[in-house]
Amino acid sequence: MITMNINKKKTAFGGFLSYFYGNFVVLLLGFIQTPLVTRIMSTDEYGRTRVFEQAVSIIYIFAILGMDQAYIRYYYKEDVNRRALMRSCLMPSVGIVSVLLVFYLIFSGTANHYLFEKNGIDITILVAGYTLVSVFERFLFLDVRMQQNGVLYSNINIVQKVLNIALIFGAWYFLGDDFRVVLYAMTLSWGATTLFLCVRYMIRLGNKEISGKDGHTVYPHSELIRYGTPFILVLLMEWLLSSCDTIALKLWSNLSEIGIYGAAMKIMVLLLTFKNTFVAFWSPVAMEKYEHEEREVSAVFFRNAFDTTRYLSVIAALGLMGCRKIVVFLLGESYRGADRIIPFLTLMPIFAMMFEISVQGIKFVKKNMLLNIASAAAIAANIVGNAILVPRLEGLGAAITTGISYIIYFAVGTWLSEKSWKVGYDYVRTAIDALLLIVCAAFSSFSDNFYLTLAAAFAVFVVVTQVESKTVRYIYKTALSKIKK
């Protein structure tokens, strides 16, 4: 029988901190990286980097085949052979990405001209290289997460970010104002850390740290693929949801506006850091709770996690809305328009993070196709919203649509998850928080007065804290208990 908890002596809070400290450092480094890039790169060139990220993402979705989700789902199964599980999940993805990249190489000239309005053999190599590296990085990093090794996870993230910044300096010295600066930095930094994780994994295999402790059950490819393939459509829908803004801006605006919008999206790293940290920590913890604890006990755990995450996320969003002009000042004069875009964009990461908690029930009962219903509802709202608002408001219209769409995404997904595996989340307080955030975001986007915006954010903070008084007391008692220990 497999060990019930890999890090049995660690508390949930301590485990989260081991993940968070690295991403907190990455956050600080991001405040160096983002202004560095925006000050050495024009809005047009920065817009091309945003298009690059979206293009690579669509190739990655079809390449990964949803096998990463299968790896997460089966990792804690009793008597599972994790070495065989890794091989069974990784190999199909590598094969598919290889085929897709062959097609891309054949049509790279046309594709590059349409996407970037530029062409070159190095652009093609960078797109292909980054995509291939991303597949290996996904599974090797996932292995670290499933071990709940937060310290290594954090350290790798820090090293990757430091390498990225250093490579930006080096590439800019040779290329100047060119979007390939970011492409080289991204590809080489991820390549270096992925190589390290690959070597580490092979050493662990050689020392029998994996196969020696694993069970004997080997799940057939057909079962893993059957579980994973629905996630292709899920991820495709999520990609479309997150990319509609860029597509709409490319259709009804220009690369310069995409660049400003992309810079505003990079500012979201403040909240995305919390989201990415939590998701990395939460996925294995949630699955382990489901597999090994009584339903009533795990349901209480999920409710408390959701309430705490909701309150802290809302507070973080309000802080960013109130102080957005200070943050945008660092980007440079060409990117000043980003301050209007940020408020509604803050809705995206916080509702996406709450979504990760509230939809676990769908994954528990293996009804993954239900996630597509949530995505379809959000995408429909996104397409309509972008078609109406982007031609009139450009980046701000895209931001408003994105923020509202993610609220719809969260609401529909949570409702479907509750129908599948009931937890009992507090819908009333969540709805009140959402409404208050929308009001504050609207005021912040259309007001140029910094002090009035700050006052509005503080007023909403006071109201939210009153609404969330039960959650505040829980957080206080939990924190006090940890401090005493």
Q: Are 302 and 440 in contact (CB under 8 A)?
A: no
Phi, psi of 149 (to 5 degrees): -90, 80
Residue 145 to residue 223: CA distance in whole angstroms: 23
The pairs formed by 332-337 with CB atoms below 8 angstroms and a separation of 24 or more are 332/35, 332/38, 332/39, 334/38, 334/42, 334/43, 334/260, 335/38, 335/43, 335/259, 335/260, 335/263, 337/260, 337/395
pLDDT of residue 14: 55
Residuewise pLDDT in 10s, the chain (485 residues)? 333 444 444 455 555 555 566 667 777 787 777 777 877 888 888 888 878 887 888 777 777 878 888 888 888 777 788 888 888 888 888 888 888 889 889 998 898 888 888 888 989 999 899 989 989 998 998 888 888 787 888 888 889 989 999 999 899 989 888 889 989 999 999 999 999 999 998 888 877 665 545 566 677 767 888 887 777 777 777 777 777 888 888 888 777 788 788 777 777 766 666 676 667 677 777 877 887 788 888 888 888 889 988 998 899 889 889 888 877 776 766 677 778 888 998 998 889 888 988 888 887 887 877 888 888 898 899 899 999 998 988 889 999 999 999 999 999 999 999 988 888 888 899 999 999 999 999 999 988 888 899 999 999 999 999 999 999 998 888 888 777 77
pLDDT of residue 439: 94
pLDDT of residue 198: 93
Q: Helix and strand tally (H, E) in the chain?
A: 22, 0
**Which amino acid, 380?**
A
pLDDT of residue 189: 94
Return the structure tokens found at 316.
Answer: 């973080």
pLDDT of residue 101: 87
- Side-chain-side CA neighbours of residue 334 (13 Å): 19
Q: Are 79 and 217 in contact (CB under 8 A)?
A: yes
The DSSP-derived string for 407-428 is HHHHHHHHHHHHHHS-----HH
DSSP, collapsed to helix, strand or coil, labels residue 80 as strand
What are the beta bridge partners of residue 80? 217
Residue 316 to residue 310: CA distance in whole angstroms: 10
Closest CA to 320 of 454, 225, 220: 454
pLDDT of residue 167: 93
H/E stretch holding 194 reads: helix 180-206
pLDDT of residue 293: 81
pLDDT of residue 214: 55
pLDDT of residue 443: 93
pLDDT of residue 311: 92
Closest CA to 168 of 32, 298, 58, 326: 32
Residue that is written with structure tokens 């050493």 in the block: 203
Helices (H), 65-107: 67-75, 82-106
pLDDT of residue 21: 65
